[in-house]
Amino acid sequence: MTESTVGEGDGRGRPPSGSALDLLRIVRINEEIKRVVAVAFKINIMALNAIFLAKRAGNAALGFGVLSNELRVFSKDLHESMMTLTRLIHESVAEVSVILQESRQDELFRRTAAEVPDDARLAAVLERRAARHAECAQRIAALRRELRMAVEDAARLVELGGVLAKSAKIEAAYGAGFAASLGQVSGEFDGIVEEIRSSLDKLRHSSFFGGSA
């Protein structure tokens, strides 16, 4: 089944289309972004705990401590990246909502125009509305491109986070008596980064960008 046939009815058994479907896709993107933001916050807390643990381990965990600090920086960068995505999502919702509202009014204008086809003033109104719709469509297209680029930037950032997490797992093995504790923390880092990567993969393949999810 496709995106337009599963759980996307309009209340009368009909799937949404056009701007309504775009709005639904944007909402789904936003939900995924919120999940990433929550996970990024967890990384920040975990990184702080890992830094304290590395200090307790002393010289044996110097490398682990450095990587833990880098993971904390990563979590902050990821949070900022998600805030950029959230801003673009809100702008996209605003633009799509305008088109939905205007489309309902257009239907009334079209019906009136069909009844009085020679009304010059009504024709002028329809022409102005068409021009406004074209401008709005251009803004949505620009936002769509900007949003996709922001998602790709976030995905590249997460790849860096993955490298840091795997490097932390290697450093944990040199933690002497703290190796087990350090290994557990680094394993949690790795799992969370993979969770974020999964969320971003969903965003990258969203049908809002022409994907299939």
Residue 101's alpha-carbon distances to 95, 107, 211, in angstroms, are 10, 11, 26
Q: Which pair of tokens denotes residue 86?
A: 């959230």
Rounded to whole angstroms, the Cα distance separating 166 from 67 reads: 10
pLDDT reported for residue 51: 92
Q: What does the pLDDT read at residue 162?
A: 92
Write down the pLDDT at residue 7: 42
Domains of the chain in sequence order: 19-209 (1.20.1270)
In order along its 213 residues, the chain shows pLDDT tens digits of 344 333 444 444 444 457 788 888 898 899 989 888 888 888 889 999 899 999 999 998 999 999 999 999 999 999 999 999 999 999 988 888 888 877 777 777 777 777 777 777 777 877 887 888 888 888 888 998 999 999 999 999 999 999 999 999 999 999 889 999 999 998 999 899 998 999 899 888 888 887 545
Please tell me the predicted confidence (pLDDT) of residue 63: 93
Give the CA radius of gyration of the chain: 24
Task: Give the per-residue pLDDT at 17.
Answer: 55
- The amino acid sitting at 17 is S
In this predicted structure, what is the pLDDT of residue 8?
44
Residues 80 and 43: their CA atoms lie apart, in Å, by: 14
